[in-house]
Every structure is written in C-alpha cells, then in structure tokens.
Copies of this chain bind each other. A is one copy, B any other.
Amino acid sequence: MNKLKGVVLLGQSGGPTSVINASAAGVFLEALKHPDRITGVYGAVHGIKGILNEEFYDIMKEDPKELELLKNTPSSSIGSVRYKLADPKVNDKDYKRLVEVFKKYNIRYFFYNGGNDSMDTAHKISEFMKDSGWDCTVIGIPKTVDNDLAGTDHSPGFASAAKYVATTLMELYHDATVYDTPQVTIVEIMGRNAGWLTAAAQLAVEKGQGPDLIYLPEKVFDYDKFFADVERILKKKGKVIVAISEGVQDADGKYIPEHFSTLSKDSFGHAQLGGTATILADQIKEKLNVKVRAIEFSLMQRCAAHLASKVDVREAFHAGVKGVREALKGTSDVMIGFKRISSNPYKMKYVNVPLSVTANTERKVPLKWIKPDNTGLTKEFVEYCLPLIQGEDKAKLVDGLPRFAKLKKIRVPKK
C-alpha cells in the first residue's frame, strides 16, 4: 500500500460540462479530509499548461462552503485547456518538464479530468513518471457531454446535457407547432463523432413531444433521403422538427458545412456559411419554399447547470471522491469508471478502468439502437438513458438567480 505523503493536483481538460466542477469538488473536498497523507491540494490553472508553467490554485486557502457550491456551478472554475502532449517517444520535452514540476512541488497524487484525449495524456504521464522513478499515482476522472469514453457505462456531463436536450426539445415542440402554417425546425446538437447526446432527443419523442427525425453521426447522412423525409412529414403533418448531430457526415466523410463548401456558390445562388442546422435550413427553404428555423443548442447544452440531472451531479462528485480514495490506496494508471448493475431500478458501481483501455477509444451509439428510418432510437436506448437524467440538483437562488461558487483563486507561490 502506497503510504506516500505529498500534494494532490487536479487538472481539467477539454470542453467543460455542467458538472465538471462537481468532480473537482469531489477531489478537493475528499483530499482535504486526509491531512496526514495530503500536504497540499492544488488546482492546475488551465490543465497541463498550468502545470508546465507552475501555475496552481491553492485549494486549502478556499472556503469549504464555496467548494461545496462547485457541485452546482457549471464549467471549470480552475480553467480548462485544449493542449495535446506529444508522443513521448517522439518528443519528451513536456514530460520531462512535468516530472521536474511534480518533484519540485512534491506532487504525489495527480488527477486528470477529461475525455478520450485526456485519458491518453494521463496514461502517458503515468508511464513516464514510472520510467522516471517518480512515485506518483495518476487517476483519470471521466468527463464528456459526448459520452464516448470507453470502459465506462457513461460519463459525467452526458446526463445533464441529455436532460437539457430532452427538456428543451419538449418545450420547442410546443413553440414550433403553435401556428397553423407549415414550418420546418432544425435543431443542431453537439457530438462530433458519437451521437449519444442527439439520441437523447428520443426521450422527448417518448413523451409525444419530440422531433420527427433524428440523425446521428453513427450513420452516413444521405441528403436525398433527408430532403425526402422532411417533405414527406411536412405533407403529412404540416410541421417537421429535426434533431441532428453536428457530426453527421456524408458518404465521403465530409461534415455538412464541408460538403456544401465544395459545391459551387452558383448552384444555390450563394455561398454556404454557418453550421449544420443553418445550412440544412437554407437548403430546405430553397427546395420546399417553407418557413424554416435553425436552432443550435450551442454552449447552453453543456453549461445549463440549472437543469442538471441529480444522478449526474452525484456521480460526477463521487467519481472525484472515489479517485482520491483509490489514489490513497495506491491505485494508479486507472480511470474511475461506472459499471451499470441494473437499469430498473438504476444501480451502478464505481470501477477502476485501466487508462490504457480508455485512452483514445471512442464509444459510439450501437447501430442496432438506431431505427433504420431515422425516426428515433429503440427502447434499449431509452432504458439506457432515462435513469441517468433523473432528479434535480442545482444552485440555490439569490435574487432569483443561481448563486454559483466564488473561489478566491489564490496562487501557490512559484518555487
């Protein structure tokens, strides 16, 4: 059993979520409970970049009440980063620097909270530390609204975003069908390679208040079929609502904006700009001469903490707590994953997934869960997704608005 004494360091990486701060709260609050083993609790200022620059927030100087409020504060209060470390076999400069910094500050417990890339980074760091003889546990904490991390039933961040998608589509269903005139509404949802979040639209369909058509990136996007589908439903119902992933691609692997940028401007009279929904709405307007509306859920779907799922907030928090407990036991080079025991009633347990398993593997929506006519997902998906979006857990209101955490953000003096 690892009896090292030293500093806990948390870094966060990639696009934030409604609950990535909840995982930070889990790591911080649990770490603060073990002063016998943990001599300092640091938050890396903007992930790996902060570590390379020796920039850390001293979490021991924060008010624990504010750290509690992190559970319901969207996005990453210590800052995130998009920075990919090189392969250490090709260029180990950054890794050597990390070892140097870890030694300088006696960092013995390193937590990296992110998606596929981050788990790959954490794994490489873990290996490099071992080879360098610096004894340091490395634990990955999962995070992604895309839900594409391998080795875990689901990832923190997904469920709250899914709850946003389903709830907002139900509300839009009421709004977008209010007039007696024909209308096509196209809603663009995040997920560059995996369609989990777009699939959550099915939960609104189950309530009879969802989109008519759902397009995931797991299937090739067929333009002719799309226009025919929209036209068919428009004729039948007068209103069409489409939920589409930003990541859908044509048979050549081109995203929608790429697909249209290669067509001549003249074929449609103007250049095609904007995102997937805007372009498809323009096309529909052109072809069917109908009122269209393009809607992007944009950043709201990943930061609407006021609509977070209680299950998600709790799991995100406990993944952080569990990570610290595992690290203190000497566990290393693993990600805290979720293993589902049952869906009804919903039961899961935390498991240690080797980082090498999760690193850079994308988990996609099973094709057999996607209805062949793009009108939705099967009941297997609903059974999978529904338990995750249950309950509410959000910031208290002050003056009718959320009271989010306010950290002092005191820097650790550079050595």
Please determine whether A46 and B179 come into contact, CB atoms closer than 8 angstroms: yes
Oligomer copy total: 2
* Chain B: minimal CB distance from A387 (Å): 9
In the complex, A375 has a CB within 8 A of chain B = no
Interface size for A (C-beta < 8 A) is: 63
Residue numbers in B under 8 Å from A248 (CB-CB): none
A residues 245-296 with Cβ under 8 Å of B? 265, 270-271, 273-274, 278, 282, 293, 295-296
Chain B nearest Cβ from A412, distance in angstroms: 17
Q: Are B180 and A46 in contact (CB under 8 A)?
A: yes
Decide: B178 and A75 in contact? CB cutoff 8 A: yes
Whether the Cβ atoms of A179 and B299 lie closer than 8 Å is no
Q: Do A81 and B402 touch (CB < 8 A)?
A: no
Q: Which residues of B contact A303 (CB under 8 A)?
A: 171-172, 174-175
B80 touches A300 (CB 8 A): no
Residue of B nearest to A53 (CB): B180
Residues of B within 8 A of A206 (CB): 399
Cα distance, A174 to B308, chains bound together (Å): 15
| Residues in chain B near residue A74, CB distance under 8 A | 171, 174-175
Q: Are B300 and A293 in contact (CB under 8 A)?
A: no
B271 lies within 8 A of A274 (CB): no
Q: A residues bordering B, Cβ < 8 Å?
A: 16, 45-46, 49, 73-77, 79-82, 163, 166-168, 170-172, 174-180, 203-204, 206-207, 209, 265, 270-271, 273-274, 278, 282, 293, 295-296, 298-300, 302-307, 309, 386, 389-392, 397, 399-402, 404
